[in-house]
Structure 1
Amino acid sequence: MKTTDYTVLNPLGIHARPAAMLAQVCTNYSSQVTIRLDDAIASGKNVLQILKLDAIKGSVLHIEIDGPDEEEAMEGILSVLSDMAPKNKKVEVLKIAFFGTKDYDRIFFSELSKDRGVGAYNVDIHYFESRLTKETAHLADGFEAVCIFVNDEAPRSVIEILHKCGVNLILLRCAGFNNVDLKAATEYGMTVLRVPAYSPYAVAEHAMTIIQSANRRIPKAFNKVRDNNFALSGLLGIDLHNKVAGIMGTGRIGVCMARICKGYGMTVLGWDAFPNKSLEEEGLLTYVSKDELLQKSDLISLHAPLIMGEGGTYHLIDANAISQMKDNVMLVNTSRGPLIDVEALIQGLKAGKFHAVALDVYEGENENVYTDHSDDYLSDDTVARLMMFPNLVLTSHQAFFTREALQAIAAVTMENARNYNESLPYGASEVK
């Protein structure tokens, strides 16, 4: 165990920004980090607990780190806790119009945005429950920035309205940026920043969770037991051990999924426009062509970005791709809905091509994402048709939805806002 005492030097104490950065760095290590201030105790990986310590300038924090990488963790933690010098700012307080607000968004963003002064984020967030669309874009009038999510819309028509409203910054609180017309944003001098990685583990773990739920017919089994029916008919699954997993897209999330599949005892194949040869060198996977992956895989997991146009990933899985797959194949998508041609998928399901299908996203989902339509009349029958199949599990674009991921999304988004306002480097967050 490594321990140290740290005297807080920051004039504002351990306020929102250092607390967020501290939690972020702690989640990068497997060691357990405990921070004590008098009788108060916080996990170093929980930003809200750190804030509740109410550490002011002069407070002495007792830090305990226990685990295999404790020395590296201590070095990272102490670097974050160092005093933060003020920078020249574009505006004293950056005004942000936050679209598509949910209660869980406020939990972290409100805590991180409340401080003002040296080293703080210095932002003022106004929350709108409505999505960003052509009809709602005018709400951004007078704001320097907008903060949007995967189901918000920023085509050229919306960009033009935002420009007239005075918006110069688009903050994406997600990794994907296919919903933003980058050409139009560039023409109007707008900066577009994203969260390049929040919790790849959250998404990969969800992918395995839902495909196993579909494979082992967990929803059906649950409902049968609730009806006092303990018969096993209709619940037959397939072992994953000794099967072949095909990972389409081997970025951070794809690699996490590959490691999970490897842990199940699967042989892992990879396909990517930009292969990472180090993954082959360590023996995690073998890169093959798209056709070979489709033909050999028992489980296919999609982790590619959505890229439109010729040579892109739009309808990566279409009727032709499905025809190349093994019979009784398993397919899971936690990336972007339009990677799969939903009509081709339904036809494949009707033909009995798939043993199991698991979707956290589907083509045409934008109207439904994060909204409650339980009292509405059916306007789009895509979901109804998909849910007819007992071997399909559909969840509501929730793969990212863990405490660690929400914490990371808020922290990186706020860092992006600060970097913009203080003319600091954007790094991997910049979308060009």
Structure 2
Amino acid sequence: MRSNLKTLLMAGLAACLAFSTATGEELAEVVVKKVAAGQPTQILLKNRFLELTFDPARGGRCSRLLIRATGEQVIGDADVSGLFLDHWAKYAWPSGLMHLPYEYELVKEGKRRAGVRLWVRVPKSGGGKGSRGRSTSLKMATSPDLVGLTVRKTIWLNSGNDTIEVDQELVNTTKQSRAAALYIQQNLSMSGSHYSDNWYLPSTSGVQVNLQPDKKGGRTIGPDWIRTPVAGWMAVKDRKTQHGMVFAFDYNYLSKTYTSGATGEWFLEPVPIGPGKSFRTKYVVKPVSGFKDFVYGSRSLVADIQADEVGQGRVKITHDVMAVGRDQNDVTVELQVIGWKSKKLLAAKTFQVSRLSAKRLQQELVFKPPVLADGVLISAIVRSGKKEERYERFYAGDRAELQARTNLFATQGGGLPSGRGNRYFRPQPRKRKQFDKP
């Protein structure tokens, strides 16, 4: 009897494991813990995809990020390197926040979600305009309008995917109404340096690309500042390895974006915050691989649209898309091609996707435009349940594409895959904001 019971239990366990494998469920827990040895304190947060190390004493930054799938460490050793760096938007780099010691708390939600919460109450010295050197920065007087505010961030991992989720807060822990704005800095180096990196920045002129040189002494192509962003995302990838990162944040409070070639930064607009109230926002960080370029990023999707002439007047469109975070079921993807001048629908194709996952999915559409030199607008509409996301790119032939990407003298649009100066323009979408009454 005991033998039969044991056999049944073993069979049941095997069936559970088989079911877990078949459905893609991951039983492993997310680990968050204080690193046992060493001072100052470090925090380790990891799942089967990623391993992050945090330094609370250095602005609560993430100082190491290992991507297990590639074995790549994407944060360098420079004293200013790190992810999730807080700064004040009204100051040029740096703000004193990046040097301040943050308090921390390890947080867990069941076995499948864990994170680290880091915060600092802004002191009278060292919490405003800063200096690159920590000792100098900590002695600098903080602007009175910032003293007493609390900056708080919680970085989360889930057991089932490689998406990093961040809850960002600015809390008014004073007795007076305040108005303030942060900017968030991600200082990283794909494949060990910023050389051969492309940074992608959505603008009214299309997705602009900052191309870093292949080696020291080379010339950067493309803009650094985008003062008219049209979407809340930016991305980076190494041209040699095709490994990259996508950052997706809230467009409604976005002022501008910036890259130095080694950093990605987004600046928020000032918001009024009453006593005891807070401003909250979220963003995600998604490691990616295999994308040639990027035309879209969000908390749900990463996507690219490529177009190539394939002979006999035909153009092949290639659409790459993957899910961010959880897999999505029963997804519909519609590709449309509209003449830029004629405004007529030239081609369309719909794809049914039973499951959209973190594995890059590719779709193709071949069509023959009447006059390619007039340009076409290629759009993708992705529907999942009641949610719909749209993105686009402009295309006017391979020659025009090459000229735009390698234009060394453009002040707007150097190195663009989809910007065409006066020929293509996308107005900034209307922003929808919610404020607590002071």
Range into which the TM-score falls when normalised by the shorter chain: under 0.3
Give me the TM-score of the superposition, normalised by structure 1: 0.25
Q: Which has the higher contact order (CA 8 A, sep 6+)?
A: 1
Give me the TM-score of the superposition, normalised by structure 2: 0.25
Higher helix share: 1
Higher strand share: 2
